[in-house]
Structure 1
Amino acid sequence: MGDVRLAGMTEEQYKPWRAEAEEHYAESSVKSGRSAPDAARDAAETYARLLPDEFATPGHHFWYAYDGDRRVGFLWIKVTHETAFVYNVAVEPELRRRGYGRAIMLAAERWCHENGLTRIGLHVFAYNTGARALYEQLGFAETGRNMAKNLQP
């Protein structure tokens, strides 16, 4: 694996990515204890709120990540002032556990440096121990913690 490069998504590429990303977000919510219907509804509402103008929502940037000519994953960040927030980063399923997640995050850091950004943040689901370990290895520090308890009717 060489350096991963980020290539901006086109609006045409964004549409199928959006549907897949929203579905994956809902699946992650289910793994975190939400019911499937609630998770799907929440994912749709969250994406609609975050991206009211879809691909053209100001401050949002979408890339596919490539190793040579092979697409290995994607990255979505929002820039506010001097801060980038990673809303979604993923590696193609068949390529996971090969260092591409790290490479995509390092490419994100390079982009941030090139664009004068001084901070990068993200959210990671608690169940995703592999991603949490990667982010800690990359120097990310926990800045808060959400907790939940399911109540029986």
Structure 2
Amino acid sequence: MSMLVPMSKLFFASYIEELVVQYAKENVESGRWQKSGSLTRSRRDTERLLPRGIETENNHFFELKAPDVNESVGSIWLSLENSATTGTVFIYDLEIKPEYRRKGYAKLALKEIEDFAATHNIVNVGLHVFSNNEAAQALYTEMGFKTVSLNMVKNIG
């Protein structure tokens, strides 16, 4: 039984609002953005990526339903990105609710994302992780992800 259950429009409405807040917070905490205006910037980025919301082409939204739990343990936003040379399933968001973290659900979800990619004839799974999120970096390294680029910033203010 798959953990990936297509997200309902009702669930999506609350999910996207929380995503905007969380993305702004992570950008501020990582030092990429100033706090002032971060919510506006986050909302603008999200609307640019999802002009039709849950109906935006090549984007897929899932709730994570664990067989041993009677509720959602998290959520996922995937985008199918094709170029002339390769296709990638890009993980825009993989969120496990705090009370379900460190129980193996993220690993199971990542394996199912690989299966999802394979069913779409895609051989790459990509993602972005903030430099201050050491737990996520460790998980992704353990699951076989490799760093392919690195953004660096020097604060001179």
Q: Do both share a fold (TM > 0.5)?
A: yes
Aligned amino acid, residue 8 of structure 2: T
Residue 104 of structure 2 corresponds to residue 99 of structure 1: yes
* 1:114-153 map, 5 Å: 114-152=119-157
CA drift of 1:62 comes to: 0.2
Q: Deviations over 1:21-77 (max 9, x none)?
A: 111111111111232223222211110110011111100000000112331111101
Match of 2:40 in 1: 41
SS in 1 for 2:36: helix
Q: Deviations over 1:129-148 (max 9, x none)?
A: 01001111111110101111
Match of 1:70 in 2: 71
Query: What runs of 5+ residues in structure 2 fail to find an aligned partner?
Result: none
Instruction: Give the Cα–Cα distance (whole angstroms) in 2 for the partners of residues 70 and 18 of structure 1.
Output: 18
Match of 2:21 in 1: 23
Alignment check: 8 A CA contact 1:64 1:74 kept: yes
| Matched-pair identity in % | 29
Instruction: Give the Cα–Cα distance (whole angstroms) in 2 for the partners of residues 43 and 116 of structure 1.
Output: 31
Instruction: Give the Cα–Cα distance (whole angstroms) in 1 for the partners of residues 60 and 117 of structure 2.
Output: 11
The match for 1:8 among 6, 9, 15 is: 6
Alignment check: 8 A CA contact 1:4 1:103 kept: no
Alignment check: 8 A CA contact 1:32 1:126 kept: yes
SS in 2 for 1:78: strand
Alignment root-mean-square deviation, CA: 1.4
Alignment check: 8 A CA contact 1:4 1:104 kept: no
Alignment check: 8 A CA contact 1:85 1:122 kept: yes
SS in 2 for 1:130: helix
Query: What runs of 5+ residues in structure 1 fail to find an aligned partner?
Result: none
Q: Deviations over 1:81-113 (max 9, x none)?
A: 331110000101111122111111111111111
Structure 1 segments (4+ residues) deviating >3 Å: none
Instruction: Give the Cα–Cα distance (whole angstroms) in 2 for the partners of residues 150 and 48 of structure 1.
Output: 28
Structure 1-normalised TM-score? 0.92
Alignment: residue pair count: 150
Structure 2-normalised TM-score? 0.89
Instruction: Give the Cα–Cα distance (whole angstroms) in 2 for the partners of residues 131 and 149 of structure 1.
Output: 23
